Amino acid sequence: MLKFLRQYNQWILAVGGTLLLITFLMPNAIQRCGRDNGPTNAVFARLADGATYTGGDQFAAQQELAVLEPMRDQFVIGLGADRSPEHWWLLVREATAAGLVDTTSGGKAEVERIAAAQNISVPQLMSLLLSNSRGDSKAETVYRALANLAGVRRLVMLASNVDRLSDRRFKNEIARSMLGVSADIVVLDAKNNAAIAAAAPTDAELEAQFKAFAEVVKGTGEKGFGYRLPNRVKLEWLMIPKASVEGAVAGSAQLSTLELKKKFAANPALYGADAAQNPAFATYEATVRQRTKDELVKQRMDEIAKFVTDEAALSLRSVKRVGAFYELPADWSTTMPSLEALAPVLAKEFAIDLPVYQTSGADFIAPSDVAQLAGIGRASTSKFGTALRTDALAGGLKEFGAPSAQAPFQVGVMSPSMTSEAGDIYFFRVLAADGSKAPGSLAEVRDAVLKDLEAVRRYEWLAANQAALVTEALAAGMAPIATKYGTVVEFAAQVREANPQFVQYGVRLPSPLPVVGTNADALKRIVDEATALPLTASVSTVEVAKRTFAVDLPNQLTVLLVQITDLTPLSAEEFTAMSSSPQLAGIARDPSTAVDPRELFSEKSLMERSGFKSERGDDLEAPAADAQTNAAP
């Protein structure tokens, strides 16, 4: 056998090599032979206008999506076209039909733009885009894919930003939005109007209301209902009055006439005097004395603040610290230094009156209530860079689950020195914290639930008697009916659906109404009534009954009695001046006509719009491999 192999080795190598070469080239030959006769032109789907979607179209779309895939383009992903060649083909078809695809140099220009934006070379970008391509993808495929992408972008942006307004509608909407309405308004607020009788709710109604909104934060539920308890704290604090320190330094030797003369002689300009004019000390003595006293007071108060801060730091010296917070021992609430006991120490050390020690009481209070505490509530510190008030520090406790790295604070640790608006110094400590939670029972929030249900009853009466209230206002007048229900007549001057100050920016910001604030629905109903009145004549010539009406606001449990007193329409000159702003269309645009590109250019919408009907059933993915294999390069 070996002899045979040695004798015919050259023939064996020649024949074997030929067979290997045939085996290697055969698949490509079969593919190339099949391209001309395969399903390249096979119809996968037909469109309503007679156009067809073929295997070649599908393969071309797949090639383009393979080119775009490395880019992770959020525009294509947002439309959902990255997952379906049919979707992408239909998008490109509409963009091409609209003349938005640059078929000449658009692709090359896009490659150069993207390469420059990414700070890479064109060959590097081409290599990246071709890295995911299958088959015989070439540079032309990249150019075609990017040109089509740019065209699709233009199509979607144009469709999204087009203004669906006729000239007449545009003018009418601007005129309406800028119509100034002045009116007398009686606000009948059922939440705060005890003059309206209301039947007491039953225990069952109270319980049902409580259960419905126990987990809801106040102000966020229906009609503002909500009984979830907020974060709450108990505080203690120490106040060092500025007046006490001023009394302590009043007898300082530095305020003697001799010392004051020395200070004035050293720098007269510091006290507003001109040294070149030989100013007399007597003329500036009061200024020198007050300035020196202020300096002494500040110095003494800084010394007091440093003393308290050092004492607090000393008490925590042996306590382990993790990051910005202390790991306080379990018995810290009973072993921590007494703030109240510090008061006599300060009085003795700095010869001042006994500092005032106070607490927030036995009950927990919310940080918003902390801000209402006299003195301490509005005191602030600049230790953390920006001024922070007591309520902000108390509301940002570590124990509430969202500690601040910029202003770390926790239960049981002394606050930094806080200064009030009057100049007094405060130090406070949070004794206990109770995080937000649903109340355990109706008893905890019974007063709030009762108040809300009574307000609902009062509002129901107001809403049912709107016509009678308007009749009474017409008969007796706005002021008497306001007095009857324990309120006053509010005057609203030139309220508009769009604030003129923000119109130039395309922002439709309605004017606030008395008491109820900004309420677009209420203002719309007022303007609806106003536009029914003549704009070219004085409102006073219109009978009162035609300009007096009620507006009910169920979400605010309020009824407004409105009597229009004046109208200020937009003049032609004002409209001409305003209409030059391209942002003005945003004021007149109807939100209901806004285009959602994800819906307008979804695969479903595109198929419905074009009449796309599959010739191979519902699934076009099955023949995708065949299309890729047999499509022409």
Cα 583 to Cα 591: distance, rounded to the nearest angstrom: 15
The answer to whether residue 139 is domain-embedded is yes
The answer to whether residue 210 is domain-embedded is no
The answer to whether residue 218 is domain-embedded is no
| Residues 612-623, mean pLDDT to the nearest whole number | 64
| Residues 374-402, mean pLDDT to the nearest whole number | 91
In angstroms, the Cα distances linking 478 to 187, 207, 535, 549, 557 are 11, 39, 24, 11, 20
Residue 417 and residue 481 in one domain: no
The answer to whether residue 221 is domain-embedded is no
Residue 586 and residue 603 in one domain: no
Burial code (b: 16+ CB inside 10 Å, e: under 16) for 27-46 equals: eeeeeeeeeeebbbebebbe
Q: What is the DSSP string of 180-237?
A: EEEEEEEEEETTT-TTS--PPPPHHHHHHHHHHHTTSPTTTSGGG----B--EEEEEE
pLDDT tier at 555, thresholds 50, 70, 90: very high
Domain interval for residue 19: 2-28
Residue 324 and residue 359 in one domain: yes
Say if CB 408 and CB 396 are below 8 A apart: no
Q: Tokens 């002394």 correspond to what residue?
A: 414
- For residue 165, the model assigns a pLDDT of 61
Cα 186 to Cα 565: distance, rounded to the nearest angstrom: 13
pLDDT tier at 40, thresholds 50, 70, 90: low
Q: What is the dihedral of CA 370, 372, 375, 376, to 10 degrees?
A: 10
Helix axes 339-350, 281-315, angle to 10 degrees: 140
Residue 461 and residue 419 in one domain: no
pLDDT tier at 628, thresholds 50, 70, 90: very low
- Looking at residue 407, its amino acid is A
Residue 311 and residue 392 in one domain: yes
Radius of gyration of the chain (CA): 40
Residue 478 and residue 550 in one domain: yes
Residue 46 and residue 21 in one domain: no
Residue 286 and residue 402 in one domain: yes
Taking 90 as the threshold, does the pLDDT of residue 209 lie above it? yes
The answer to whether residue 214 is domain-embedded is no
C-alpha count within 13 angstroms, C-beta hemisphere, residue 463: 14
SS3 assignment, position 309:
helix
Residue 194 and residue 82 in one domain: no
Residue 194 and residue 157 in one domain: no
Cα 605 to Cα 93: distance, rounded to the nearest angstrom: 14
Work out how many domains the chain is built from and give that number. 4
Residue 185 and residue 63 in one domain: no
Contacts of 336 (CB under 8 A, 6+ apart): 315, 412
Q: What is the DSSP string of 445-463?
A: HHHHHHHHHHHHHHHHHHH
pLDDT tier at 622, thresholds 50, 70, 90: very low
* Cβ count near 142 (within 10 Å): 24
- For residue 627, the model assigns a pLDDT of 40
The answer to whether residue 43 is domain-embedded is yes
pLDDT tier at 507, thresholds 50, 70, 90: confident
Degrees, nearest 5: CA angle 308-312-316: 165
> What is the overall mean pLDDT for the chain?
85
The answer to whether residue 441 is domain-embedded is no
The answer to whether residue 224 is domain-embedded is no
Residue 530 and residue 428 in one domain: no
Q: Which residues pair with 492 in a beta bridge?
A: 183
Helix axes 281-315, 242-249, angle to 10 degrees: 120
Q: What is the percent of the chain where pLDDT is above 90?
A: 50
